[in-house]
Structure 1
Amino acid sequence: MSITPKQKRLTPVRIGGMKGEIPIVCLTAYTTPMARLLDEHCDLLLVGDSVGMVLYGMDTTTSVTLEIMIAHGRAVMRGVRNACVVVDMPFGTYQVSKEDAFRNAARILQETGCDAVKLEGGTEMVETIAFLTARGIPVLGHIGLMPQQVHTAGGFRSVGHSEEEAAKVRRDAHAIGESGAFAVVVEGTVELLARELTGALRVPTIGIGASPACDGQILVSDDMLGIFSEFTPRFVKRYAELGTQVSAASAEYAADVRSRRFPANEHTFRQRISKASPT
């Protein structure tokens, strides 16, 4: 009798080796059902700290806690068979020291079973990333627009427009590319600069609001599906309008309940009549 081998999920090493291959497909996921739906189509699923804004109604990602990320990381891992799963390290869990970053990153890997962590930052994070990767924790970098730094950056805005700003993004990109990170997210960066960095770095770039030349692309799934409607960034393409469909379906349900059309007979349970026991 032959036994079908268990399917192996993509690893950070494999993702890192996809530089220059077919573009890497990435989306965010925060729940088991969504992970199951996306897994077949994605190379990498990111449990992003964007969960704070998308699911919890927060104004920024800076209020997201380690416990929130671990809970959603566990949920996503229950629905994945194929994709490499990366969990964001939330604000305040890796900036104090590289030792603190290791403790928190190790906890994420141990308690979720994910494949890697992601952290934001450029030159200031090189030592931390090298420390983590040397101790067995794969890291996905993140440069350009960094949502955890929104308060000091003056809001959510694209970067790389001035030569001074572009020079900083270049320094950050090259530093993270050489730090040991297996890939780097390039967010909200002017197209020509993102294209340049993709050609210059040895590791894959994963773009979001960057360039079609990047080695991969990522979007927040709820943006892409038309569920999260607080605002739509310029770089988002909506592939569905599920938010509109949810609203319409809810309205139809409400009308059926109020008019007593729901539940109908087929939605209710009828009493089973048992035969009398013989005397």
Structure 2
Amino acid sequence: MKKLTIGSIQKRKDALPLVMITAYDALFARLFSESADILLVGDSLNMSFGGNNDTLSATMDQMIYHTNAVCKGAPETFIITDMPFGSYTDEATALTNAIRVYRETSADAIKIEGGAEKAHLIKHLTLNGFAVCGHIGLLPQAVRAEGGYKVKGKNEHEALSLIADAQAIQQAGAFIIVIEGVKADVATRVAQSVSIPVIGIGAGNGVDGQVLVFSDMLGLYEPFVPKFVKQYMDGASAVKKSVSDYASEVQKRSFPDENYVY
């Protein structure tokens, strides 16, 4: 698959939906690259890989480490890196950390959570040569401030606010937006209100593409399955069975047999 550019991504607006999936290492990035248009090195790795209850303790060092691994595994795939919590509190901090991402990895873009209130940061970054993906709706980095993960767009006020967020982000220079945890009809309105692609996660089918966390989509993460996640395989059971079979054969001395020795 030919690597997409910002231009070719934007041409997918109202066209063939974009396929985005998270990746945190070279192994899975290589496997996903055959089908995914975009790989997102999400700070969700703090939960699925790090065992934490939220994304907030992810650091720049962690994001850069995992981004480098993903870039090595999928050099021909467009890669976006999440800017972790606390890494873009003001223009100077955001620019310093964005420079680290570009200098220390081959990431094609960075992602920032927040709506109109973060537009000035996006504008500052885009004016300094960075490709920025916005993120509106349910914001995982705001989970403690909001007292949990809450669906957005439940009333007209919230719908208009989300539309204003998307338009402010577009005007600031973002080339694409992720919209998360938003009522499907409202997400559709948001997508129709801007001329850049809007990628949904838990936001229905009326947008310009979808993103899922790979460990959710492959059924590997057992503690919690969000309502919007379709599990395309029972990965946890498959892995457990394979490891159990291996353990059993080791204990019975049936592995390795003559087929697996020198």
Q: Normalised by the size of structure 1, how large is the TM-score?
A: 0.90
Mapping 1:47-62, distance limit 5 Å: 47-62=41-56
Asked if 1:258 corresponds to 2:251, the answer is yes
**Does residue 78 of structure 1 match 2:72?**
yes
1:20: Cα distance to partner?
1.3
CA-based RMSD of the aligned residues comes to 1.3
Match of residue 92, structure 1, among 86, 90, 95: 86
Shift of 1:77: 0.4
Structure 2 unaligned runs (5+)? none
Q: Percent of counterpart pairs with the same letter?
A: 42
Distance 2:240 2:150 in 1: 30
Alignment of 1:15 onto 2:13: no
Q: CA deviation at 1:76?
A: 0.4
3-state SS of 2:166 partner: helix
Instruction: State which of 222, 225, 228 in structure 1 corresponds to 2:221.
Output: 228
Per-residue deviation, 1:8: 5.6
Match of 1:155 in 2: 148
- Report the Cα distance in structure 2 between the residues aligned to 1:226 and 1:15, rounded to whole angstroms: 28
1:128 aligns with: 121
Question: Which residue matches 1:46?
Answer: 40
Deviation at 1:186, TM superposition (A): 0.5
Deviation at 1:146, TM superposition (A): 0.4
Is the aligned partner of 1:164 residue 2:157?
Answer: yes
Query: Does the residue aligned with 1:192 lie in a helix, a strand or coil?
Result: helix
Letter in 2 for 1:34: F
1:138-149 alignment to 2 at 5 Å? 138-149=131-142
For 1:21 and 1:92, the matched residues in 2 are separated by 35
Q: Following the alignment from structure 1 to structure 2, what is the Cα–Cα distance between the partners of residues 103 and 229?
A: 37
- Written as runs of structure 1 = structure 2, the 5 A alignment for 1:17-32 is 17-32=11-26
The SS at the match of 1:93 is coil
**Greater C-alpha Rg:** 1
Count of matched residue pairs = 262
* Separation in structure 1 between the aligned mates of residue 189 and residue 156 of structure 2, nearest angstrom: 14
Deviation of the 1:70 alpha carbon: 0.3
Q: Deviations over 1:90-148 (max 9, x none)?
A: 000002x1121011011111111110000100111111101101111000000000000
When structure 1 is superposed on structure 2, of 245-254 and 9-18 the one drifting more is 9-18
CA contact 2:82–2:112 (8 Å) conserved in 1: yes
**Counterpart for residue 273 of structure 1:** none
Amino acid in the other structure paired with 2:3: R
User: In the aligned structure 1, how far is the partner of 2:146 from the partner of 2:82?
Assistant: 20
Deviation at 1:192, TM superposition (A): 0.8
SS at match of 2:79: strand
Q: Give the C-alpha shift of residue 250 in structure 1.
A: 1.0
Structure 1: 5+ residue stretches without partners: 1-6, 270-279
